[in-house]
Amino acid sequence: MIEQTLTPITPTNDPWEAYDDMKRFGKLQLTNIEFTTTTICNMRCEHCAVGYILQTRDPEPLPLDMLIRRLDEVDHLRAFSITGGEPML
């Protein structure tokens, strides 16, 4: 039998970090950004968390310089994730 110790979620151990943000900044802060590069995908995987927003064609792309400027506006950026769609399409 494998013994497993789980650490409870507390203000010092919160995977979503909202408790920490409240303590540090006195309010909720935007700290994590997820950038979806495309919503095109020919698969319909049961486990897909965004399957409901997949489309057959992408909208007009956003200018890269605008994206960079907007990211610069986030004072406490902790994580930036790039995700989205089927990259081979």
Tokens standing for 37? Answer: 């590069």
Residue 1 lies in a domain: no
Residue 25 lies in a domain: yes
Look at the chain and report how many structural domains it folds into: 1
Residue 88 lies in a domain: no
Task: Give residue 50's pLDDT.
Answer: 74
Tokens standing for 60? Answer: 């007009």
Residue 9 lies in a domain: no
Residue 89 lies in a domain: no
Residues 80, 35 contacting (CB under 8 angstroms): yes
Residue 60 lies in a domain: yes
Task: Give residue 8's pLDDT.
Answer: 79
Domain span at residue 79 reads 18-83
Q: What is the DSSP secondary structure assignment for residue 61, as one 8-state letter? A: P
**Whether the model pTM is above 0.75:** no
Residue 26 lies in a domain: yes
Question: For the chain, what is the radius of gyration of the CA atoms?
Answer: 18
Tokens standing for 49? Answer: 């968390």
Residue 3 lies in a domain: no
Q: How far apart are CA 4 and CA 9, in angstroms?
A: 16
Average confidence (pLDDT) per 10 residues, the chain, 89 residues: 69 70 85 83 79 76 89 88 73
Which residues have a Cβ under 8 Å from the Cβ of 54 and sit 6 or more positions away?
Answer: 39, 40, 41, 44, 48, 85
